[in-house]
A and B are shown apart, each in its own frame.
Chain A
Amino acid sequence: MKKKAWHKELKEQAPRLAKLKEKKLRPDLPDGYFSDLEKRVLRRLNEEQSMSLNSNQQRRLPLYSVLQWVAAVVLLAAIATWIYTHRKVENLQEASLTSEEVESYILEHLDEFDEGILVEQADKLSSDWTVLPSESTDPFENVSDEELNGYLDSLLDDIDETTLENLL
């Protein structure tokens, strides 16, 4: 009843539109469109739900990434510290010189050193050095008194009186 009244009203207000309304207005659709639509919508929903699960995991990532950054910084700091200390040791090792190098340096720059210091160092060194073996301090230990006297007599025989007077 209401629809009839509406169509009558439409005819009065817009006769062309009323005429078109009597015709088949809707164009054809692909076969099975609506059953296919249902499947596509459900598929999309499943995809979006799995994507939202992934994005939830990604939302947790900032905490993980912060931890990763902290771990990376700590690791880098540890590596840098190790390299630094290792290099220092190497430098010290490189800096230590052989005694030959020290000697040659001193000889080259002898004029630049204070004499007092050189003497002091030389005394220190000489006290450390053993020139002769301790058990052979007396070079004539194995020579008998007779041999020694005979040797001295022969020396005296060879020296003339004037030289002897000068020596005494």
Chain B
Amino acid sequence: MDGSKNRQDAAAEQRIIQLLQEERDLERGFKLLMEQYSERLYWHIRSLVGSHENADDVLQNTLIKVFKSISGFKQQSKLYTWLYRIATNEALTFLKKEQRRQTEDLEGEGKNHLYSLRAEASLDGQRIWDLLQQAVSTLPDKQKTVFVLRYFEEMSYRDISEILGTSEGGLKASFHHALKKVESYLSQVEMYI
């Protein structure tokens, strides 16, 4: 099942690359690229930046950057890992700007969030998402990215390595640390639920 999907993905990727290489088919190729990857990129970005509004902004910037730099894609990596690399960079840049902008004490914000969680009786889909986002936001950038790609996207270490340019061994260690931290955060919150 997975093998068949992978083959379809590979065929779609080749078709998109072919179209993007021709000037007259550029727009058609780009539309196909958006159809194929927008949703996956959106959830990856959303996992990193949290809100829909932020994810929407970052995704638009990502797609525009992709269009502008598509001529620089040398096919030394898979198209989708190249797209994820751009999306990750855009999301992390956005987060850095946001962190600089915010003057509020993050620790205090976290406590407030725990307090607000205590007031809720049950965890629905949105609440689980918010809870995980809050946990992920406490991680350093590298661990955050590895966690999102591995836990939410279920991406292989090989592909993550291609996206982040880090060794698979290093990625496994980062993911392990991130997993422990998020699990610990959830255990703290569980006390209030």
Q: Is the CB of A45 within 8 A of B67?
A: yes
Is B118 in contact with chain A by the CB < 8 A criterion?
Answer: no
Task: Give Cα distance in the complex from A23 to B52, angstroms.
Answer: 20
Q: Distance (Å) between the CB of A11 and the closest chain B CB?
A: 11
Interface size class on chain A is 20 to 34
CB neighbours (8 Å) of B125 from chain A are 23-28
Is B179 in contact with chain A by the CB < 8 A criterion?
Answer: yes
The stretch of A34-42, A53-61, A102-110 that contacts the partner chain? A34-42
Q: Mark A100-136, 1 if CB is under 8 A from B, else 0.
A: 0000000000000000000000000000000000000
Q: Is the CB of A23 within 8 A of B128?
A: yes
Is A88 in contact with chain B by the CB < 8 A criterion?
Answer: no
Q: Is the CB of A25 within 8 A of B182?
A: no
Q: Is the interface of A mostly helix, strand, loop or mixed?
A: helix
Q: How many Cβ-Cβ contacts under 8 Å join chain A to chain B?
A: 73
By Cβ-Cβ distance, the 7 closest A-B pairs, closest first, are A14-B183, A16-B186, A27-B126, A24-B125, A41-B63, A14-B179, A27-B129
Identify 10 new A-B residue pairs, CB closer than 8 A, beyond the known A26-B129, A37-B60, A38-B34: A6-B154, A17-B186, A20-B186, A21-B151, A30-B52, A34-B38, A37-B42, A42-B27, A44-B60, A44-B64
Q: Mark A1-28, 1 if CB is under 8 A from B, else 0.
A: 0110010001001111100110111111
For window 33-67 of B, CB contacts with A under 8 Å fall at 34-35, 38-39, 42-43, 52, 56, 59-60, 63-64, 67
Is B187 in contact with chain A by the CB < 8 A criterion?
Answer: yes
Interface residues of A (CB under 8 A from B): 2-3, 6, 10, 13-17, 20-21, 23-30, 34, 37-38, 40-42, 44-45, 48
Task: Give Cα distance in the complex from A71 to B59, angstroms.
Answer: 49
CB neighbours (8 Å) of B64 from chain A are 41, 44-45, 48
Known A13-B176, A24-B125, A37-B60: A29·B52 in contact at CB below 8 Å: yes
Known A3-B154, A34-B38, A44-B60: A25·B129 in contact at CB below 8 Å: yes
For window 140-192 of B, CB contacts with A under 8 Å fall at 151-152, 154, 156, 176, 179-180, 182-183, 186-187, 190
CB neighbours (8 Å) of A15 from chain B are 183
